[in-house]
Amino acid sequence: MIRLGKHLIIRHKKKECVKSCSARLVALVVRYSGNMSDLRDVIIVGSGPAGYTAAIYLGRAGFKPLVIAGALTPGGQLVNTTEVENFPGFPDGVMGPELMDNMQRQAEKFGAEIVWDDVVSVSNNDVTGVKTVSVDQGDVFETHALIIATGSEYRKLDIPGEAEYSGKGVSYCATCDGFFFRDKPIIVVGGGDSAFTEADFLSRFGSSVTLIHRRSEFRASQILVERAQQNPKITIVTDSVVEEILGDDNGAQSVNIRNVITGETSTIAANGIFVAIGHSPATAFIDGIVQRDAGGYI
pLDDT at 154 over 70: yes
Query: Is 159 part of any domain?
Result: no
pLDDT at 171 over 80: yes
Query: Is 84 part of any domain?
Result: yes
* Same domain (yes/no): 44, 81: yes
Non-local CB neighbours of 287 within 8 Å, separated by 6+ positions: none
Higher pLDDT, 76 or 246: 246
* Same domain (yes/no): 144, 195: no
Query: Is 237 part of any domain?
Result: yes
Catalytic annotation, pick one of 177, 183, 193, 293: 177
* Same domain (yes/no): 80, 113: yes
Quote the CA–CA distance of 269 and 232 in Å, as a whole number.
18
Please count the structural domains in the chain: 2
Whether residue 101 lies in the annotated active site: no
Catalytic annotation, pick one of 101, 136, 176, 287: 176
Whether residue 92 lies in the annotated active site: no
Predicted pLDDT of residue 16: 38
Mean pLDDT across the chain: 87
* Same domain (yes/no): 188, 273: yes
Higher pLDDT, 202 or 82: 202
The percent of residues in the chain predicted with pLDDT above 70, rounded, is: 87
Residue type at 63 in one-letter notation: F
Q: β-strands 42-45, 146-148: how paired?
A: parallel
Q: Convert 80-115 into a string of H (helix), E (strand) and C (coil).
A: HCCEECCCCCCCCCEEHHHHHHHHHHHHHHCCCEEE
* Same domain (yes/no): 65, 149: yes
Average pLDDT over residues 166-187: 93
* Same domain (yes/no): 147, 174: no
Quote the CA–CA distance of 140 and 119 in Å, as a whole number.
10
* Same domain (yes/no): 125, 43: yes
Average pLDDT over residues 268-275: 98
Query: Is 15 part of any domain?
Result: no
Query: Is 292 part of any domain?
Result: no
Predicted pLDDT of residue 246: 98
Q: What are phi and psi of 262, to 5 degrees?
A: -95, -20
pLDDT at 279 over 90: no
Confidence class of residue 71 from pLDDT cuts 50, 70 and 90?
confident
Q: What is the dihedral of CA 138, 139, 142, 145, to 10 degrees?
A: -90
Quote the CA–CA distance of 94 and 81 in Å, as a whole number.
10
Q: What is the CATH number of the domain that holds 258?
A: 3.50.50.60
Quote the CA–CA distance of 288 and 284 in Å, as a whole number.
9
Average pLDDT over residues 206-226: 97
DSSP annotation string for 177-246: HGGGGTTSEEEEE--SHHHHHHHHHHTTTSSEEEEE-SSSS-SS-HHHHHHHHT-TTEEEE-SEEEEEEE
Quote the CA–CA distance of 267 and 257 in Å, as a whole number.
6
Query: Is 222 part of any domain?
Result: yes
pLDDT tens-digit series, residues 85-130: 888 999 998 988 899 999 999 999 999 999 999 999 999 999 999 9
Whether residue 118 lies in the annotated active site: no
Average pLDDT over residues 272-297: 91
Catalytic annotation, pick one of 41, 139, 173, 239: 173
Contacts made by residues 90-97, CB under 8 angstroms, sequence distance 24+: 96/175, 97/175
Higher pLDDT, 114 or 295: 114
Q: Are 103 and 114 in contact (CB under 8 A)?
A: no
Range of the domain at 255: 170-277
